[in-house]
Copies of this chain bind each other. A is one copy, B any other.
């Protein structure tokens, strides 16, 4: 679809701020939003002028395609405030690129940089007071696009809404995470939409994840749907396995999301001299390694939790406990990555972008 890039953004400021009503020490992830949002509609083959305005409800026809056909994509990213009160983004161009890849797969228009990146920066400048400094405090950023055209016929919409909302967040801690390895349910098909951050991928996981919860597990390690032999993702995160001193993670594919945390951790680990092997990892290998003691760690990797260490996994009827390590790769890599994000360590990769 053709893109009309606009170099300007309309800004309508909120009359009052809600910030005083928020207890920043008691935040539930993704539930509190800042004073403003960015909205930009796509109509007649072009993006309209983006507008930053007070956070407010959407008014949509009941036949809007997002409600019926799930034509919707999103991104997840964070802003960090340093000791000197400057605000930084982490590899935002990667989220922009991935949003547009998702858009192509879901038959939606790509979002130009002037709206995604410049719009985001402008929005954060306006709501900067909502980003608290100190490691562990972040502003979670949710760019998303929905099909707002009406009509209950299963065809791509001609009208879309791109929107960015912001939610202050504390460091994500989920307690001990035990995982179940999927041997029946799956999250993505070959030739499907698993590699896109498409809305439908996520609700499809709810039911199997609830079954896992009921059985005492916090997350599922998804396997390939055809054979259930390859370890692919962990909940809504990419997943790493440490066997002896090598880190393994699956290559991305059309079933696996190309996570930005994943690729950053791979680069960081390599820089630390850790051996990283990107190749399909088999359930059998994992079970074997758990049995012979060479399996040291499993962890999820994603923007929300950064690194999410796993304490044990169940496959079919057998539960395997992971060792408790003094020096774990998970802890070390998380520390190194967040230090870069909070500008507490030199960013030799050029990943951080000042707002």
Contact = CB atoms under 8 A, between A and B. Distances in A.
B58 A60 contact: yes
Interface residues of A, number: 73
Given A61-B57, A165-B62, A203-B147, A72 B70 contact: yes
A55 B107 CA distance: 29
A19 to B, nearest CB: 18
Interface string A143-175: 010110011111110000001010100000000
* Copies in the assembly, this chain: 2
Interface in A230-250: 236
Interface of A: 28-31, 33, 37, 55-72, 74, 76, 104-107, 140, 142, 144, 146-147, 150-156, 163, 165, 167, 182, 184-193, 198-208, 210, 225-228, 236
A192 B191 contact: no
Nearest to A154: B202
Given A70-B203, A189-B186, A62 B107 contact: no
A122 to B, nearest CB: 18
Contacts of A28: 151
28 contacts: A28-B151, A31-B150, A31-B153, A55-B62, A58-B60, A58-B61, A62-B163, A62-B165, A66-B66, A66-B199, A68-B72, A70-B70, A70-B199, A70-B202, A70-B203, A107-B206, A142-B152, A152-B165, A185-B191, A186-B190, A187-B189, A187-B192, A189-B189, A189-B225, A200-B200, A200-B201, A226-B226, A226-B227
A174 to B, nearest CB: 11
Contacts of A190: 186, 189, 225-226
B70 A206 contact: no
